[in-house]
Chains A and B, each alone.
Chain A
């Protein structure tokens, strides 16, 4: 079974600075998807960024980028120019390419932005 681990329960960063959230996963599959979801206090789960394992290029979405290291099974999220609206719980998630269509989530990292 796949597992996802986020080793940082809480992180904080000064507004306008850069922060990196860590995520590692365990799988025997070669094809899969990885995601970062954001959950602000409103509770809504919002997709931040997506990475297909077969793509070597790291995904980027505006201020958000990932460092995908397939051999190391690592998938970190970098947030540049942090904004107050980035404050939220961030969840790393894994989904198989085929078979069981479910997301396996990490424990989450609570990100605080200091003004």
Chain B
């Protein structure tokens, strides 16, 4: 059973298109995230949701819109894709702070290539 699954694994698209990445976790966690890993491998938080509510939005362009229909799902929609959006996008989930096991569990990543 995959704990955090995201689809698709690879996405190649043209500039100006709109695309979505889906994420689902079966761990019962309250908090989900989107991270972006750039070409230099640097990982940075984009968004965080807690029980379907947005709690972190780290200066991400408005073209990126996360949506959480329920606490097990967090999707990422990107409008008007640009070359600079090419990266690997990771979905993750974690239990609340204060728990003994508080590490984040990551999906396998989606490699987005904008051409």
Q: Are A102 and B97 in contact (CB under 8 A)?
A: no
B33, B98, B103, B108: which contacts A97 (Cβ < 8 A)? Answer: B98
Question: Can you list, as one digit per residue, whether each of B80-109 has a CB less than 8 Å from chain A (1) or not (0)?
Answer: 000000001010101011100111111011
Q: Are B55 and A100 in contact (CB under 8 A)?
A: yes
Instruction: Report the interface size for chain A: residues with CB under 8 A from the other chain.
Output: 24
Q: Does more than half of chain A's interface fall in helix, strand or loop, or is it mixed?
A: loop
Q: Does more than half of chain B's interface fall in helix, strand or loop, or is it mixed?
A: strand
For the complex, what is the distance from the CA of A42 to the CA of B107, rounded to whole Å? Answer: 12
Interface residues of A in 87-115 (CB under 8 A from B): 89, 91, 95-105, 107-108
Q: Are B109 and A47 in contact (CB under 8 A)?
A: no
Residue ranges of B at the interface with A (Cβ–Cβ < 8 Å): 31, 33, 35, 40-45, 48, 50, 55-56, 58, 88, 90, 92, 94, 96-98, 101-106, 108-109, 111
Q: Which 8 A-B pairs have the closest CB atoms?
A: A45-B106, A105-B43, A102-B45, A43-B109, A47-B103, A108-B41, A101-B31, A98-B97
